[in-house]
Amino acid sequence: MPTVQLGAERRALRASLWVSAVSAAGALVLGVLSGTRIIVFDGAYMGIGLVLTAISLKASSASAGGPTRRFPFGRDALTPLVVLIQGLAVAGTLLVAAGDAVVVIRDGGSPVSAAIIAIYGAATAAIGFGVAAWMRRAAPDSDLVVAEIAQWRAGAILSVMMLLGAGVALVLQGLGLNDVALYVDPVLVLLACLILAYIPIGLIRTGLNELLEGAPSKELDAAITQAIQGVRAEYGLQEPLIRSGKVGRKLYVEVDFVVSGSEWNVGEEDAVRRAVAEALEPLGLDVWAYVALTAAPELFE
């Protein structure tokens, strides 16, 4: 990763770490003192995010170290591994929270302070969306930051749910339906869990795909194909076999061309290899390209 991008990634993660620490501590204290489960859940969610951000910072430093004697291909796999861990952690948090909410509903609900929920929800929604927007601008090309942004957006959505729920509770209490208002807190938690379920699913899918060396996204795959087709047209080559995989910021690309062996020499083959490497450079990733020109297609089919 270029030094500038690496610095931006680390600054964004550090900022997220500090904001998470302050927000999580405040939420847990307020939630426990007020006896509001939705706020305790939000604080626990941010606390887990705090730990994951610290792990992301470590992964960022390790993967930026490049190849070593022990890890000749680098440690870029740490990035999708951390993304996968983030997805599993968020999923676990949602499952525990949903289970607790079901127990509360079964036991007859719990009293809440609609005013406290409303004020807290408005404040944390503003913080969540604000931090997510800032991180998107600060390090838009970092997979670790993208995963972090997903967590902040999830928290902000949860806060919006709190704000809406507080309004519902106030209306119910104003109508004298205090018994119904007892269920607002646990129902809010359940709704939030359902709404946020797509986030861990997406993180788990992305992390597993890269760890298993799956194909990159459709957008990246199209960009790779376009770059290779430009080289093919320039050198008058046949349609190549293209295989690619992305692990963290490392992009593996294998390109196999079938040629007439008697018409090519090593210098011409190297020119094609350089052209492929230059065509892929604008993608902004650490490209490891393998380009083969052979007269025997059975060697790579």
Identity (one letter) of the amino acid at 22?
Answer: V
List pLDDT tens digits, range 36-63: 777 887 788 788 877 877 877 777 777 7
Tokens of 146: 């993208």
CATH architecture of 218-299: 2-Layer Sandwich (3.30)
Query: Is the domain covering 3-211 a CATH 1.10.3860 domain?
Result: no
- Identify whether the C-beta of residue 149 lies closer than 8 Å to the C-beta of residue 19: no
* Contact between residue 193 and residue 94 where contact means Cβ atoms under 8 Å apart: yes
Q: Residue 222: beta bridge partners? A: none
Mean pLDDT of 173-198: 83
Please give the pLDDT value at position 262. Answer: 66
Q: What's the pLDDT at 127? A: 93
| 1 pLDDT more than 60 | no
Q: Return the residue matching tokens 């597993």.
A: 208
| Backbone torsions φ then ψ of 248, nearest 5 degrees | 65, -125
Cβ atoms of 290 and 253 within 8 Å: the answer is: yes
Query: What backbone torsions phi and psi does residue 252 show, to the nearest 5 degrees?
Result: -95, 125
Rounded percentage of the chain residues whose pLDDT exceeds 70: 95
Q: In the prediction, which pLDDT does 227 show?
A: 92
150-185 pLDDT tens trace: 878 888 887 887 788 788 888 888 888 888 888 887
Residue 258 to residue 261: CA distance in whole angstroms: 9
d(CA 184, CA 38): 10
How many whole angstroms from its chain centre is CA 19?
18
Distance CA 49, CA 13 (A): 11
> In angstroms, what CA-CA distances link 253 with 78, 237, 238?
20, 18, 18
Q: In this structure, are residues 247 and 207 in contact, taking their beta carbons and an 8 Å threshold?
A: no
Band of pLDDT at residue 282, cut at 50, 70 and 90: confident
pLDDT at 133 over 60: yes
- Domain positions in the chain are 3-211, 218-299
> What is the pLDDT at residue 301?
62
What does DSSP assign to residue 175? T
Q: How many Å apart are CA 31 and CA 34, to the nearest integer?
A: 5
CA triplet 288, 201, 244: central angle to 5 degrees?
A: 20
Closest CA to 9 of 81, 62, 47, 68: 62
Say what the pLDDT of residue 4 is. 63
More confident residue, 276 or 260: 276
